[in-house]
A and B are shown apart, each in its own frame.
Chain A
Amino acid sequence: MKRVIMGNHAVSYGVRASDVKVISAYPITPQTQVVELLSEMCANGEIEAKFIMVESEHSAMTACVGASAAGVRTFTATSSQGLLLMHEILHWAVGARLPIVLANINRAVGPPWSIWTDQNDSLSQRDVGWLQIYCESNQETQDTIVQAFKIAETVKLPVMLVLDAFFLSHTFEIVDILEAEQVRKFLPPYVADRQVDITESHSFGNLASPDGYMELRYMIQKAMEDSRSVVRDVDEEFGKHFGRSYGLVKPYRCEDAETILVTSGTVASTTRAVIDKMRDEGIKIGALKIRVFRPFPFEEVFDVLSKAKKVAVIDRNISFGHHGIFFQEVKSALYGRTDIPIIGYIAGLGGRDVTPGVIREIASRAIGDTKPEREINWIGVKE
Chain B
Amino acid sequence: MYNSPMAVPTNKTQEFLFLMRGAQWGGGLSPQEAQNGLDAMMNWVEDLRQQGHLTAGQPLSFEGILVSADRQGTLMDGPFVETKEAVGGYLIVRAESLEQARAFAAQCPVLKYGLFIEVRPIIPQCSIASELTGELLYPQV
Does chain A bind chain B? no
